[in-house]
C-alpha cells in the first residue's frame, strides 16, 4: 500500500498553513466584532481562537499555490468589474418587458487539479451574476453551471470561454506550479 | 468633506435600493426556481454592498464600520454556497422549466452517473 500512503500525504501538502491562517482570521474577526483594538482584546481573541480551533478542527486540504500580488490584483479588478456589469444585466433581465429569459445548464471542465482552486472558482462564479453552480463533479473537475439570459448556442459558448478565462486569471493569481503548467499546456493546444 | 460623504452615501443607498428592488421584481417575474436564485443572490449581493457602503459613509464610527465590514464579508462568503445548495436541490428534484433550457449538459451526465454507480456496486459485489 505504499502508493496509497504517498497519495494521502501529497494530498495535504501545504495544509500546515491553514492553522495559522485560521487563527489570525479568527482573531481579526474577534477584533472586528468589538470594533476596536487593545492588548486585552487581542489576548482574549487569541484564547477564543485557540478554543474554537480545538473544538472545530478543519479538514486538512492541500494548499499548493502562493498568491502573486500583480495577477491577484488583476483578478480582483476584473472580478469586481464582472460583478458590477453582470448585476446590472440580471437586474435588467428582471425588469425588462418581454418574454421569460432563456436559461441553460452547461458543463465546464476545469484545468486545475486542486480541490482548493476548484472551490475558489466555484465560489467566484457563484458571486458573478448570470451563472450559478448547480453541480460539482470533483473527480472530473467539472462544474455544472446554470446560466440565465443566454439567447442561443453562441451565447452559451461565450459563457464557457468566460468561465475558462476566470479560471485562468485565478490560477495565475493563486495557482500551484502544477496548475499553471496545466493551464499553459491547455492554452497551447487551442 | 462631510457633505461630500453624505452625497456619496445617498448615491450608494439609492443604487443599492434600486438593485434590491430589481432583485425583488426578478424574484416575482422569473419563471422557475433556478432563474429566481439568480435574482435573489446576485443583484441583491451588490445591492447590499452598496447599502452597507452608504450606511458606513453616514455613520463613520469605528465600531459600526467594522460591523458593516463583517456583514459584507459573510454575505460574500455565504451567498454562493447557499445559492448552490438550493440550486442543486432544485435541479435534482426536477424543479426546472425544461422548455426554457436551450442546453442541458447535466441531465446526460446524471444518467451516466446513475448507470456507472450501478456498475461500481456490481464490481464491489464481485470482490
Co-location of A113 and A182 in the same domain:
yes
**Coil, strand or helix: which one is A184?**
helix
**pLDDT confidence bin for B8, thresholds 50/70/90:** very high
Residue A149's domain comprises: 69-189
Q: Which residues of B touch A156 (CB under 8 A)?
A: 102-103
pLDDT exceeds 80 at position B110 = no
How far off is chain A from B90, nearest CA to CA, in Å? Answer: 9
- Alpha helices, H only, chain A: 2-11, 18-34, 39-55, 69-95, 115-127, 153-174, 177-189
List all residues 6 or more positions away from B54 whose beta carbon is below 8 Å from its beta carbon.
B8, B9, B10, B11, B12, B13, B16
Structure confidence at residue A1 (pLDDT): 43
pLDDT exceeds 50 at position A58 = yes
- Segment A129-150 shows an average pLDDT of 85
Co-location of A11 and A45 in the same domain:
yes
Count: domains in chain A: 2
Contact B38 A86 (CB under 8 A): no
Co-location of A125 and A172 in the same domain:
yes
Interface of B with A in 48-77 (CB under 8 A): 62-67, 69-70, 76-77
Structure confidence at residue B127 (pLDDT): 44
Condensed to tens digits (0 to 9), the pLDDT of residues A17-39 reads: 888 888 999 999 999 888 888 99
The ipTM is 0.76
Structure confidence at residue B115 (pLDDT): 63
Whether B34 and chain A come into contact, CB under 8 Å, resolves to: yes
Of A112-121, A152-161, B24-33, B88-97, give the lowest mean pLDDT range.
Answer: B88-97
pLDDT exceeds 90 at position B12 = yes
Instruction: Flag whether A62 is in a domain.
Output: no
> How many whole angstroms separate alpha carbon B124 and alpha carbon A162?
40
- The grid coordinates of residue A103 equal 436559461
Amino acid at each position: 500500500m505504499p502508493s496509497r500512503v504517498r497519495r494521502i500525504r501529497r494530498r495535504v501538502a501545504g495544509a500546515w498553513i491553514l492553522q495559522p491562517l485560521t487563527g489570525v482570521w479568527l482573531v481579526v474577526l474577534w477584533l472586528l466584532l468589538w470594533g476596536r483594538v487593545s492588548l486585552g482584546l487581542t489576548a482574549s481573541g487569541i484564547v477564543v481562537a485557540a478554543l474554537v480551533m480545538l473544538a472545530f478542527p478543519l479538514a486538512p486540504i492541500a494548499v499548493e499555490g502562493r498568491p502573486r500580488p500583480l495577477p491577484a490584483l488583476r483578478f480582483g479588478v476584473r472580478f469586481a468589474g464582472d460583478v458590477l456589469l453582470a448585476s446590472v444585466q440580471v437586474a435588467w433581465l428582471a425588469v425588462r418587458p418581454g418574454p421569460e429569459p432563456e436559461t441553460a445548464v452547461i458543463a465546464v471542465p476545469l484545468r486545475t487539479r486542486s480541490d482548493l482552486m476548484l472551490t475558489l472558482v466555484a465560489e467566484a462564479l457563484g458571486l458573478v451574476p448570470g451563472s450559478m453552480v448547480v453541480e460539482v463533479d470533483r473527480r472530473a473537475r467539472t462544474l455544472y453551471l446554470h446560466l440565465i439570459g443566454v439567447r442561443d448556442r453562441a451565447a452559451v459558448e461565450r459563457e464557457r470561454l468566460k468561465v475558462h478565462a476566470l479560471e485562468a486569471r485565478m490560477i495565475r493569481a493563486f495557482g500551484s506550479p502544477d496548475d499553471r503548467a496545466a493551464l499553459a499546456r491547455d492554452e497551447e493546444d487551442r | 468633506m462631510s457633505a461630500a460623504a453624505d452625497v456619496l452615501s445617498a448615491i450608494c443607498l439609492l443604487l443599492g435600493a434600486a438593485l434590491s428592488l430589481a432583485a425583488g421584481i426578478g424574484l416575482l417575474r422569473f419563471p422557475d426556481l433556478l432563474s429566481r436564485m439568480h435574482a435573489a443572490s446576485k443583484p441583491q449581493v451588490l445591492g447590499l454592498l452598496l447599502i452597507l457602503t452608504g450606511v458606513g459613509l453616514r455613520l463613520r464610527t469605528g465600531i459600526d464600520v467594522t460591523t458593516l465590514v463583517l456583514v459584507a464579508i459573510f454575505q460574500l462568503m455565504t451567498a454562493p454556497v447557499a445559492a448552490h445548495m438550493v440550486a442543486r436541490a432544485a435541479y435534482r428534484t426536477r424543479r426546472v422549466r425544461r422548455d426554457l433550457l436551450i442546453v442541458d449538459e447535466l441531465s446526460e451526465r446524471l444518467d451516466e452517473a446513475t448507470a456507472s454507480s450501478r456498475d461500481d456496486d456490481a464490481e464491489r459485489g464481485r470482490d
